[in-house]
Amino acid sequence: MTSAAPMLPGLDAFDAAIVDLDGTMVDTLGDFVAALNGMLDDLGLPQVTPSVVETRVGKGSEHLIRAVLQHVQAPADDALYDRAWTRYQHHYLAINGRHSLLYAGVAEGLQGLSARGLRLACLTNKPTDFARQLLTSKRLDVFFDPVFGGDAFERKKPDPLPLLKTCEALGSRPGRTLMVGDSSNDARAARAAGCPVVLVTYGYNHGEPVQEVDADGFLDSLARLDSWTLPVGAARGLG
């Protein structure tokens, strides 16, 4: 008689989850393009296409603005960057959420996590005010407490500090806190912090294949989280 295979732990292995925003819950590429092109128009600079913006999303607004200015061959000038940042904030706050779409399965996935009693935090490199406004407009704010943006801590993802601080706020150990994201930034931060990590396959990931990232799993929908189980190696690392 053969013994049954050991059951791998699923969501019951976790006390909390940290969920990324752009590219994970909401497709915000349209918002980025609209705000950036408004900024560029104000500065008298050429417009950019969605394909240019998509590969530069995920490392915070400061990086995005500098990368776009470099792409349009604007002078590397701090005064110009300061003007660009001011105009970008103006346009982004005015259109935040208008050109973005909730990915399929996101609400179901978050409801499933909440129903299991997991405490949820949203952690993004997007500025906190932008993140809160977007979550509210998409009716996702009810799932999250706390919400931390890229300006909440001294360093951004992929540094582990934001994840460690978010675990503290949630009152959960890193090994019992699942990171859900869409990019190598999320995975690298999770690995360094000691959090298991699962990535969605439909996000941005700086234009690179997400399946090549070191993660514990990949999902084509957050609705599938409820039936997801940890690989054996990752399960042994829970603590």
Segment 68-104, tens digit of pLDDT: 999 999 998 999 999 999 999 999 999 999 999 999 9
Percentage above 90 pLDDT, the chain: 85
Residue 219 is encoded by which pair of tokens? 């999902």
Q: Are residues 133 and 21 in the same domain?
A: yes
Domain encompassing residue 199: 11-28+100-236
Measure the CA–CA gap between 163 and 195, rounded to whole angstroms. 8
Q: Are residues 125 and 18 in the same domain?
A: yes
DSSP run (H or E) holding 112? helix 106-115
Q: Decide if 158 contacts 185 (C-beta within 8 A).
A: yes
Q: Decide if 26 contacts 100 (C-beta within 8 A).
A: yes
Q: Decide if 93 contacts 86 (C-beta within 8 A).
A: no
Q: Which amino acid is at 67?
A: A
Q: Are residues 52 and 110 in the same domain?
A: no
Q: Are residues 71 and 189 in the same domain?
A: no
Segment 71-80, tens digit of pLDDT: 999 998 999 9
Q: In this structure, what CATH number is given to the domain that contains residue 57?
A: 1.10.150.240
Whether 12 sits among the annotated catalytic residues: the reply is: no
* 206: number of Cβ within 10 Å: 16
Q: Are residues 73 and 181 in the same domain?
A: no
Q: Are residues 74 and 160 in the same domain?
A: no
Please tell me the pTM assigned to this model: 0.90
Q: Decide if 218 contacts 201 (C-beta within 8 A).
A: yes
Q: Are residues 57 and 106 in the same domain?
A: no
Q: Are residues 122 and 155 in the same domain?
A: yes
Beta strands of 56-194 (E only): which ranges? 101-102, 119-123, 147-148, 177-181
Q: Are residues 135 and 213 in the same domain?
A: yes
Q: Which of residues 95, 123, 145 is at a domain's end?
A: 95
> 122: closest CA among 33, 214, 21, 25?
21
- Which residue in 15, 20, 31, 82 is the catalytic one? 20
Question: How far from chain centre, in Å, is Cα 126?
Answer: 8
